Amino acid sequence: MKLPWGMVGGGEGSQIGPLHRIATGMDGTFALVAGALDADPVAARRFARELGIAADRAYGDWREMLRGEVRRPGRVELVTVATPNRTHFEIVKAFLEAGIHVLCEKPLTLVPEEARALEAIRAGSGLVGAVNFGYSGYPMIREARAMIASGELGRIRVVVCEFAHGHHADKADAENPRVRWRYDPAEVGVSAVCSDAGSHALHLACFATGQQIEAVSADFVSCIDSRDLEDDALVAFRMSDGAVGRLWSSAVAVGRQHGLALQVFGERGGLAWCQERPEQLRWTPLNHRTRIIERGEPALSREARRGSRIAIGHPEGLPGAFANIYSDIREAIVARKRGQETPVDCLFPSFADGAHLVAAIHAAAESARDGGAWKHLP
Ligand code: NAD
């Protein structure tokens, strides 16, 4: 049975809203029954009605939604927050305090203290708190994680990750309001591209290896002079089990379309994956030829198989990855209703992961300001 679900943000024309709605539809995990979908109350109500939400649950803003839902029988069990970054903290906090599970878009908050505060509230309440590092829902990323966890690569030596695209490279477009806010510290905090794009790559590095980031040394550059924040970033990092990490993140890499990629090099072999060919994982055992592992193969790990729906060779794409995050969240909510722990199979990125990434980005920004000096995460 679908669980009742609400969205804040993700209105008409938004970048990420449609993907959430497609993803919940793919596996029938959640039914969209309430929403405060737009910053403009009139547009919010109209678009909610167009999506089939009942008039009395098509809210004009999130506070009205909270008041309307909190005492209602059959109220929303999960709220997705897909608003601009600076609004996440107060919206997420309010829904958590009302006892409602939350999936928040990344970054969880603008500053580490707020991210830690949200995780403390979540932990105290026992609610599900997830952050949409949605690429970790790809089956072949989960396969990489399973291979590394089983020791197939041996000790992990080096992790190289990238999220470098070219979509903010045009100087003439820098003042376009749809681009400008992404480089405005009031909107996004201490980092632009490293937080917006690079955090996804760092999350994959942590998710796949099972290691955390312990220290960073960064070089941030604004290639377009009018920008206060970086549009290109290089971050060296050290991980908790000894892996050495490298991240390149850019918004001025003309010719690159998406540009998210992960490579993991261990003592016994190397793995490579990129988002533009998400169905394949390249595996090179030491002293052997490269093999291509395909989503849908029968011999995949349980983690990868449970995240696949359609036959090998038929691309599932990003909505399928998001759908896996939603399936995991749904299972975790159902387990709580039964008085059980979150099943080990539920691999959705948690608030603790979200807080870790906010801390890593802050440390990187601090390092960049300090000429690349190494900064340790708290
Ligand atoms: P966007 O500007 O395209 O859309 C934002 C939507 O939120 C709009 O519909 C806007 O009207 C609405 N909104 C703004 N303030 C609101 C408020 N107070 N209450 C209700 N609705 C409000 O932005 P976007 O690119 O969709 O980004 C939204 C969030 O999603 C950001 O945090 C961004 O970092 C994140 N994002 C994540 C991914 C991913 O891969 N996980 C990709 C893109 C964006």
Which residue has the CA at smallest separation from atom 11 of ligand 1? 38
Tell me the C-alpha distance between 268 and 266, whole Å: 5
pLDDT at residue 175, rounded to an integer: 87
pLDDT at residue 279, rounded to an integer: 97
Tell me the C-alpha distance between 280 and 349, whole Å: 22
Contact 16, 10 (CB under 8 A): yes
Q: List per-residue pLDDT tens for the chain, 378 residues long.
A: 999 999 999 999 999 999 999 999 999 999 999 999 999 999 999 999 999 999 999 999 999 999 999 999 999 999 999 999 999 999 999 999 999 999 999 999 999 999 999 999 999 999 999 999 999 999 999 999 999 999 999 999 999 999 999 999 999 988 888 899 999 999 999 999 999 999 999 999 999 999 999 999 999 999 999 999 999 999 999 999 999 999 999 999 999 999 999 999 999 999 999 999 999 999 999 999 999 999 999 999 999 999 999 999 999 999 999 999 999 999 999 999 999 999 999 999 999 999 999 999 999 999 999 999 999 998
| β-strand partners of 245 | 159, 237
Which residues' Cβ are closer than 6 Å to ligand 1? 8-11, 14-16, 36, 38-39, 61-62, 82-85, 87, 105-106, 132, 134
pLDDT at residue 166, rounded to an integer: 97
Tell me how far the alpha carbon of residue 82 lies from the centroid of ligand 1, in angstroms: 5
Ligand 1 atom at minimum distance from 36 CA: 20
Tell me the C-alpha distance between 356 and 378, whole Å: 9
Tell me how far the alpha carbon of residue 181 lies from the centroid of ligand 1, in angstroms: 12
Which residue has the CA at smallest separation from atom 38 of ligand 1? 16
Collapsing DSSP states into helix, strand and coil, what is residue 240?
Answer: coil
Question: Ligand 1 pocket test: which of 12, 15, 88, 191 has the largest number of ligand atoms within 8 Å of its C-beta?
Answer: 15
Collapsing DSSP states into helix, strand and coil, what is residue 173?
Answer: helix
DSSP 197: I
The phi-psi region of residue 310 (left if phi > 0; otherwise alpha if psi is between -120 and 50; otherwise beta) is beta
CA 239 to each of CA 65, 206, 244, 257: distance values in angstroms, whole numbers, following the listed order: 41, 8, 6, 29
Tell me how far the alpha carbon of residue 38 lies from the centroid of ligand 1, in angstroms: 9
Ligand 1 atom at minimum distance from 133 CA: 41
Tell me how far the alpha carbon of residue 132 lies from the centroid of ligand 1, in angstroms: 12
Ligand 1 atom at minimum distance from 88 CA: 32
Tell me how far the alpha carbon of residue 343 lies from the centroid of ligand 1, in angstroms: 30
Helices (H) and strands (E) in the chain, counts: 13, 14
pLDDT at residue 20, rounded to an integer: 98
